[in-house]
Structure 1
Amino acid sequence: MRKNGPDAAQLALNGLRVLEVGTGPALAYAGKLFSDFGAEVIKVESPAGDAWRQMPPMVCIPGAAQPESALFAWLNTSKRSVTADAGSAGDSAWLAQLARTCDVVLDARALTEGPVILARPVWSGNTGERQGHEPIEVALTWFGESGPYSQYAGAEAVCRGLAGAVHGSGPVEGPPHMPHDVQTAVVVGLAAFSAAVAALIGRAQGSRRYVLSVHEAIFSVVEMEAGLVPDKRHPLRRLGVNRFCGTHPAGIYQTSEGWIGIFTHTLPQWVALCEAIGRPELAGDPRFANGQERMARADEIDALLIPAFLTRTAREWFEILGDKKHPTVIVPTMAELLTQEVHRQRNAFVPVEVGGVSFEGPVVPLRLDAAGPLPGGSAPAKGAHNSLYRTSGLDHHPRLQLRRTSAGQLPLRGMRVVDLTMGWAGPLASRTLADFGAEIIKVESTGYPDWWRGANFTEAFYRDRLYEKNSNFNLMNRNKLGITLDLTRPEGKQLLLQLAARADAVIENYSAEVLPKLGLDYEALRAVNERLVMLSMPAFGLGNAWSNTRAYGGTLEQASGLPLHTGHPEGPPAMTSYAYGDPIGGLNAGAAMLLALFVQQATGEGRHVNLSQVEAMLPMAAPFILEQSVSGTVSPRLGNRHPMHVPHGCFHCAGDDAWIALTVTDAQWPALCRVIGREDLAADARLAQASGRRAQQDRIDAAITSWCKARDPEEAMRLLQRAGIAAGVVRPMSQVLQDAHLHARGFWRGVERAHSGMYTASTAWFRTGSEPMPIRNAAPTLGEHTEEVLTRVLGLSAGQIADLERMGITGKTAKPKSSKGVA
């Protein structure tokens, strides 16, 4: 454990003051990202305290009447707490004054009071008056400020269900798996933090106000599935626990000691697996030639693998398959995770203190070295800083004097980023910057285009330009420019160095050894541009024994240990149906890059950001890591039940595989009973509180199921929402693409593109006004902007550009892969 923290003066956000108003884990995580990088974060709680102070796991404090939440403490390290009564005019006026001393206001009042509350910013008090300095405002809503769901009661689980992030996971017969609220919170917290930092960077030209929809933000976790539907590659049904859409074997298997996670995608990986289990004859069997064929025979393959993996330990299989470059990881228990040397070397676990008791939680995974994050911290007691901010706190002058702008420009307009990423995680990170207005120059080669264009390199792939027709690629690469360069040749390498010399940042997600072999590592790029920010994002980070581990998004999920705490209590460890680690890695990488660019803007200094994508998954497992650290063990899986709210779950409705998600608080319980016609339950005093209902969960769930089974899920959602109960249809992805709310809001847009024709594109998860953010460019065709970029940015002549194409350094047509391509 790191003994000494960074110099506070060097922390990335030192000197900023942030007001955190509202409740919920998403808001708290956004604030945590600010406080752990040195900002003064003032958390506003009700006089009764934030409800999440009661969220398990709990810590017993010597001498205290009540235990404290370890999860709340981790979410609120290094913050300051004040209390304010929302119904008091005096408190509202004081909060307005306090807000005007802040650089950023994170506002989640709409999550409890409805989006109408956002019409009056915190700093305007009760008068609506706007004057002088106006902080940057990032507001969280469940479903946005417009559209059919805008007035719906929301919850993390309900938004996940409506966004398509529940239906695909779990047993074929159901019910689908519902993750812990924190997993949604981390995604939305990262989105809110990213919007705030982008706004700070572009404060001279960008909007002061960014409104986020939790529903739309959480969709980014399952966006890959949205691309599979129009391409007819989605099974349109739940395949079962640890059955990953499109390939097999890609799951978790018990060994003689521990669990092993594998992800077999390509034919060479299948060959390696067959050799490792002593069945080389299966490698050439045409029945297993590709992922879809193997998925069709998943039970047959598992019948071979289950006994084979029991012959060795997880560590032995990790080494055997790793040597064969097969994506393989140990799936650790929380006890094992906390002792893994690869994480200890990176100080991935830091002390968290509350009430004098210390335990460990995951570090914020955005690593900027001397600029942060802090190596842990203490959580404030409720209202601990009231006296400070009721008096001298109002005399503070914001670090940044922010005046309202015309908001005609995106905040990152004028910034240039060279994008050396492929697949999902890296392109999602660079797309985040693109959506905020940065110029993204995506570099591919004709011999090795982005593998999300397709990885089945048949004759038709090249002849019919199938690499231009993949919807996943189109979704992930909006608002970018695309060029081709062969980086294995001196001319291509030199052109990339020239681009880096004229860029603010470079982002890459190649295997760890690729850029050093090409002579294009950070030192080489920094030699041409000292202020350059570069971000690399291998599975376990750079510079450790596991840095070269091959990984997909599912591998990252396995390595976090999260599957051991996902799924129904009676079932096996369970992965999600999507490549969870990819979007989480991409969202963290985007936030880390924005933070590094903010520091670059302030200091003129460059840096190499070393992001571990497995480490980025650890906050998703925070409740379980914290419980292991606090108590030395982790409670059995709750399945679809909730640590605080009862009832909570996924309930079968009328129709084939039709489900609704709902979560009910004490205040909503009587209304639920009325809707389902069970006033007898409402009259039972023992059930008035969640603690009493917990003992009767089976009885309550049966009553809800009986009511739901007689109703279409859309009708059930409408009736429950009409009564103010957070409920939503558990939509399969095919329904998400047709969702009336998302269409009414313009979240889905038709975009015309060469070779693809018209396709459906998503839009950004934030808004600065009533309309969705613009799609300035469709995803680039291969090499589409090469001539424009080389002319405008590097000043090359038409003759020089023609020579490069003739030599094969550039081009617009994919060519069969050669051994010289970047891998």
Structure 2
Amino acid sequence: MVKHEPTSQLALAGLRVLEIGSGAALAYAGKLFADFGAEVIKVEDPDGDALRTVPPLLTSSDTESQSALNAWLSTNKRSVTLGSQRFEQYAWLARLARTCDVVLDARALSEGIEVLSRPVYGASDAASGENMPIEVCLTWFGESGPYSTFLGTTAVCRALAGAVYSSGAVEGPPHLPHDVQTGIVAGIGAFSSAISALLGESDGSRRYVLSIHELAFSVVEMEAGMVQDGRHPKARLGVNRFCTTHPGGIYKTREGWIGIFAHTGPQWAALCAAVGHPEHAQDPRFINGPTRIKHADEIDAFLIPALLTKTAKDWFEELGKAKFPAVIVPTMDELLAQQVHRERGAFVPVISGDRQFEGVVVPFPLGDAGPLPGGAAPMKGADNQYYRSDEALALRVRRTRAKVAVPPLRKTRVIDLTMGWAGPLAARTLADFGAEVIKVEGTQYPDWWRGTHYTEEFYSERLYEKNANFALMNRNKLGITLDLTRQEGRAVLLDLVKTADIVIENYSTEVLPKLGLDYAALSKVNDRLVMVSMPAFGAGNEWSTTRAYGGTLEQASGLPHHTGFPQNPPSLTSYAYGDPVGGWNGGAAALLALLVQARTGKGRHVNLSQVECMLPMAAPFILEQSACGKTTPRNGNEHPLFAPHGVYQCADDDEWVVLSITNDTQWQALVHVIDAHALGTNSSLNHAEGRRARRQQIDAHISTWCRQRTADSAMRELQKAGVAAGVVQPIWRVMEDSHLNDRGFFSRIPRAYLGEYMATTAWFRETASATQLVRPAPTLGEHNREVFSRVLGMTQEQQQVLEDSGITGTSATRKAAREP
């Protein structure tokens, strides 16, 4: 057995986890466990995980070559391989699985959903007398619905989920990001599910089944709200054109690239002044974001030459002083040199054989509880001997299955001090697992996702109750109001904190300290309190006060340098990517911190950096820069392994299908279905490397075939033939998708003022049915009476005093000079 350093202080020390299957989603879920001290046993076929072949490959003098990406995903794991005697090997594997606390199972991705009926630990009735581990199973499309038997890839899932269509040039093709990006999201989902089950382990073990398709939808969920509100343009607007505002993109400067986002009036005025055109600040054509996007070309006509007069560093400093959301868009070598990330330990050593290079740290800073600062990746089969020993196979734990639909976090109380998308999504994660989440807003400062245009109509027509995005992101929560700018409001909040397990907040870093409500103050009234803070660059560093939106976080990660086609500038996705990614990471960090709290009785402050949360998305390029000293230039929709792979136009205008050939058998199936038999007889095309060299010729055949069919018929013909393919669906069609609606992923529910709207359901399931939605998002102050009475024991008279003095209320009130 490979020697591993003691990990007794780490959050997951003492847990044994089995990782079986392949793919980045599974590997990242396992990495999160391993880097926090769990004993993660990675099971591979004799030929090794396909991830071992993803470029760039590392050569070593004493070991086999392997992928830098796979090495990073495998730090601190153990590796075992299956032998050739299948019956004996699976009997051994079942015995090993029954010694585990958690099984992460991705076999369905390669073997189909039928494998879900065959637990890796053996038959349920046989295992019940021993140990039934917590299980998290990854599928492409879930266990039910019309797509459940489809062949999938992350690109296919992403396309069908609406997370491809809106990115790229107006004329197309839409952009396909690196597969790892969807894998990271799905991996966090798998990890969060398992940690939630561990928090509720007194009930027994739970089994969750996840759909990567539904997880991929989570990154564009905001657009589903915009469609319902009538705010979505229902079109692809072009490279670096953001549907809710302009400018919101990436611009060349005298040296380097600057990323900017102008949402509010004051931000637009500050930008106009900085670039020497203050006269445009009050131009009625540019009065707000949705109006400016209609005049984007006119704005760019004066903005592009102005930004070329200074360097990206100059603009970052100047605009930052004006509190304008602007960041340097770094190349990978520039990113690796940024001192803010260095100070936070964002880059850590990865060891593979005799090679060492830098990767990205797991972005949940829990102090003495982890994560490990890097680590070594195991060679294939390095731990075979040990895990076949009687010592390793001795039963360690005994669990029976928990009752279905009993929420694991039902005894957890969360105080939610968040606004927008990222913070509320983090808190919603806990709410979906059954936590009591109390969302705190102010009548003068409601969540800015309720709306930012504070007109007369905003108040008189209660527009703040009619925003579908707010409703989507705040399901399953209780809502109260408190004026935290006044001592009476802060006193009530402190009383609530005394009863809570965790506080989640995403205010600007200076807000809570000014109010006297930072962690130092809150922990005085509750020393076991966990607090998760989510600023853009983390607290306590030179860039902590940098203003940021989701797109800003994507810009600052350097990811746009590897999105899109070489003829275009570094390219953003069309949605606020950093927000859902920050929310996913914030939720996972909160769950993990709660698990440490449950085991130690101690509180802690988790100082998250949302830009760091984006860095795993850029991991392939960061690793390549560190290991090779350079990165491969932007290459459009090419894939590092699969060929052919891409987005192909179909018969109707702006209709596209994604096609991904993942193995040579699929290649032969493709040749047959598109009637390109001459390609099939060319032996040089029997392997991906040869097909990649003839990419243009192959793509011409595929394009000709696709242009004769609708996207839907092309997908269905290809899937029937055994080829992974999916329609590039715009979000408004995703909301009508037969598969998602058949599965109950979307649910129409009523809510006061908003009326009936289409809600989403949780991304994890214990049964084939969707996880039950407990309540719609709260109206402003909807649960004041309930929370103040039940949680704090306030009398009606005490509550009335708070209401009469304006500390609390159920209607938004005016406040001058408001800005989110």
* TM-score interval (norm. to shorter): over 0.9
What is the aligned partner in structure 1 of residue 446 from structure 2? Answer: 449
Matched-pair identity in %: 63
Asked whether the 8 Å contact 2:264–2:819 carries over to 1, the reply is: no
Amino acid aligned to 2:48: G
What is the aligned partner in structure 2 of residue 469 from structure 1? Answer: 466
What is the aligned partner in structure 2 of residue 404 from structure 1? Answer: 401
Residues 497-506 or 810-819, more deviating: 810-819
Amino acid aligned to 1:285: D
What is the aligned partner in structure 2 of residue 53 from structure 1? Answer: 52
Residue number among 103, 108, 124 corresponding to 1:105 in the alignment:
103
What is the aligned partner in structure 1 of residue 9 from structure 2? Answer: 10
Residue number among 243, 246, 254 corresponding to 1:245 in the alignment:
243
Distance 1:408 1:236, change over 3 A: closer
1:749 CA drift (Å): 0.5
Helix, strand or coil at the partner of 1:204: helix
What is the aligned partner in structure 2 of residue 522 from structure 1? Answer: 519
CA–CA distance in structure 2, aligned partners of residues 349 and 590 of structure 1: 22
1:817 paired with 2:808, answer: no
Structure 1 unaligned blocks of 5 or more: none
What is the aligned partner in structure 2 of residue 757 from structure 1? Answer: 755
Question: What per-residue deviation string (whole Å, max 9, x for no partner) do you get for residues 357-388 of structure 1?
Answer: 00001100011011000000111111111001
CA–CA distance in structure 2, aligned partners of residues 62 and 570 of structure 1: 39
Amino acid aligned to 1:230: Q
TM-score (ref. length: structure 2): 0.98
Asked whether the 8 Å contact 1:424–1:586 carries over to 2, the reply is: yes
Distance 1:611 1:660, change over 3 A: same
Distance 1:54 1:393, change over 3 A: farther
What is the aligned partner in structure 1 of residue 231 from structure 2? Answer: 233
CA–CA distance in structure 2, aligned partners of residues 653 and 757 of structure 1: 38
1:600 paired with 2:600, answer: no
1:392 CA drift (Å): 3.8
CA–CA distance in structure 2, aligned partners of residues 227 and 695 of structure 1: 43
Question: What per-residue deviation string (whole Å, max 9, x for no partner) do you get for residues 643-698 of structure 1?
Answer: 00000000000111100011002221000000101111111101000011111000
Asked whether the 8 Å contact 1:162–1:730 carries over to 2, the reply is: yes
What is the aligned partner in structure 2 of residue 618 from structure 1? Answer: 615
Asked whether the 8 Å contact 2:175–2:564 carries over to 1, the reply is: yes
What is the aligned partner in structure 1 of residue 386 from structure 2? Answer: 388
Amino acid aligned to 1:478: R
Q: How does 1:11-26 map to 2 (within 5 A)?
A: 11-26=10-25
What is the aligned partner in structure 2 of residue 329 from structure 1? Answer: 327
Asked whether the 8 Å contact 1:92–1:126 carries over to 2, the reply is: no
1:571 CA drift (Å): 1.7
Distance 1:662 1:722, change over 3 A: same
Helix, strand or coil at the partner of 1:386: coil
What is the aligned partner in structure 2 of residue 804 from structure 1? Answer: 802
Residue number among 540, 543, 550 corresponding to 2:540 in the alignment:
543
1:404 CA drift (Å): 1.9
1:67 CA drift (Å): 2.7
Asked whether the 8 Å contact 1:206–1:409 carries over to 2, the reply is: no
Residue number among 62, 78, 86 corresponding to 1:80 in the alignment:
78
CA–CA distance in structure 2, aligned partners of residues 788 and 449 of structure 1: 19
Distance 1:497 1:731, change over 3 A: same
CA–CA distance in structure 2, aligned partners of residues 413 and 293 of structure 1: 45
Residue number among 545, 549, 553 corresponding to 1:552 in the alignment:
549
1:285 CA drift (Å): 1.2
CA–CA distance in structure 2, aligned partners of residues 483 and 125 of structure 1: 48
1:85 CA drift (Å): 4.8
Distance 1:720 1:430, change over 3 A: same
1:305 CA drift (Å): 1.1
1:41 paired with 2:59, answer: no
Asked whether the 8 Å contact 2:357–2:623 carries over to 1, the reply is: yes
1:605 CA drift (Å): 0.5
1:405 CA drift (Å): 2.3
CA–CA distance in structure 2, aligned partners of residues 791 and 87 of structure 1: 65
Question: What per-residue deviation string (whole Å, max 9, x for no partner) do you get for residues 205-233 of structure 1?
Answer: 36510000000011110000010001110
CA–CA distance in structure 2, aligned partners of residues 401 and 796 of structure 1: 44
Helix, strand or coil at the partner of 2:121: helix
CA–CA distance in structure 2, aligned partners of residues 668 and 408 of structure 1: 39
Helix, strand or coil at the partner of 2:248: coil
Asked whether the 8 Å contact 1:514–1:822 carries over to 2, the reply is: no
Question: What per-residue deviation string (whole Å, max 9, x for no partner) do you get for residues 168-222 of structure 1?
Answer: 0000000000000000000000000000000000112365100000000111100
1:661 paired with 2:648, answer: no
What is the aligned partner in structure 2 of residue 286 from structure 1? Answer: 284
Residue number among 260, 263, 266 corresponding to 1:265 in the alignment:
263
Question: What per-residue deviation string (whole Å, max 9, x for no partner) do you get for residues 581-624 of structure 1?
Answer: 00000000000000000000001000000000000000000000
Q: How does 1:644-793 map to 2 (within 5 A)?
A: 644-664=641-661, 665-793=663-791
Distance 1:125 1:774, change over 3 A: closer
1:357 paired with 2:374, answer: no
What is the aligned partner in structure 2 of residue 149 from structure 1? Answer: 147
Distance 1:344 1:707, change over 3 A: same
What is the aligned partner in structure 2 of residue 629 from structure 1? Answer: 626
What is the aligned partner in structure 2 of residue 509 from structure 1? Answer: 506
Residues 609-618 or 675-684, more deviating: 675-684
Asked whether the 8 Å contact 2:428–2:473 carries over to 1, the reply is: yes
CA–CA distance in structure 2, aligned partners of residues 805 and 495 of structure 1: 13
Helix, strand or coil at the partner of 1:246: coil
1:639 paired with 2:639, answer: no
User: What is the aligned length?
Assistant: 816
Helix, strand or coil at the partner of 1:496: helix
CA–CA distance in structure 2, aligned partners of residues 87 and 689 of structure 1: 28
Helix, strand or coil at the partner of 1:542: coil
Q: How does 1:561-572 map to 2 (within 5 A)?
A: 561-572=558-569
What is the aligned partner in structure 1 of residue 585 from structure 2? Answer: 588
Distance 1:474 1:87, change over 3 A: farther
Helix, strand or coil at the partner of 2:772: coil
1:133 CA drift (Å): 1.5
Residues 340-349 or 124-133, more deviating: 124-133
Amino acid aligned to 1:534: M
CA–CA distance in structure 1, aligned partners of residues 630 and 681 of structure 2: 38
Distance 1:468 1:17, change over 3 A: same
Helix, strand or coil at the partner of 1:174: coil
Helix, strand or coil at the partner of 1:62: coil
Distance 1:778 1:87, change over 3 A: farther
Asked whether the 8 Å contact 2:98–2:127 carries over to 1, the reply is: no
CA–CA distance in structure 2, aligned partners of residues 705 and 235 of structure 1: 28
Structure 1: 4+ residue segments shifted above 4 A: 125-129
Asked whether the 8 Å contact 1:121–1:128 carries over to 2, the reply is: no
Question: What per-residue deviation string (whole Å, max 9, x for no partner) do you get for residues 59-78 of structure 1?
Answer: 121255x5320000000101
Question: What per-residue deviation string (whole Å, max 9, x for no partner) do you get for residues 317-373 of structure 1?
Answer: 000000000000000010000010000000100000101100001100011011000
CA–CA distance in structure 1, aligned partners of residues 13 and 519 of structure 2: 26
What is the aligned partner in structure 2 of residue 426 from structure 1? Answer: 423
What is the aligned partner in structure 1 of residue 184 from structure 2? Answer: 186
1:406 CA drift (Å): 2.0
Amino acid aligned to 1:563: P
Distance 1:710 1:85, change over 3 A: farther
CA–CA distance in structure 1, aligned partners of residues 127 and 274 of structure 2: 70
Asked whether the 8 Å contact 1:92–1:125 carries over to 2, the reply is: no
CA–CA distance in structure 2, aligned partners of residues 393 and 234 of structure 1: 59
CA–CA distance in structure 1, aligned partners of residues 84 and 591 of structure 2: 34
Helix, strand or coil at the partner of 2:237: coil
Structure 2 unaligned blocks of 5 or more: none
Residues 86-95 or 677-686, more deviating: 86-95
Distance 1:132 1:392, change over 3 A: closer
Q: How does 1:166-181 map to 2 (within 5 A)?
A: 166-181=164-179
Distance 1:109 1:127, change over 3 A: farther
Helix, strand or coil at the partner of 1:728: strand
Residues 84-93 or 433-442, more deviating: 84-93
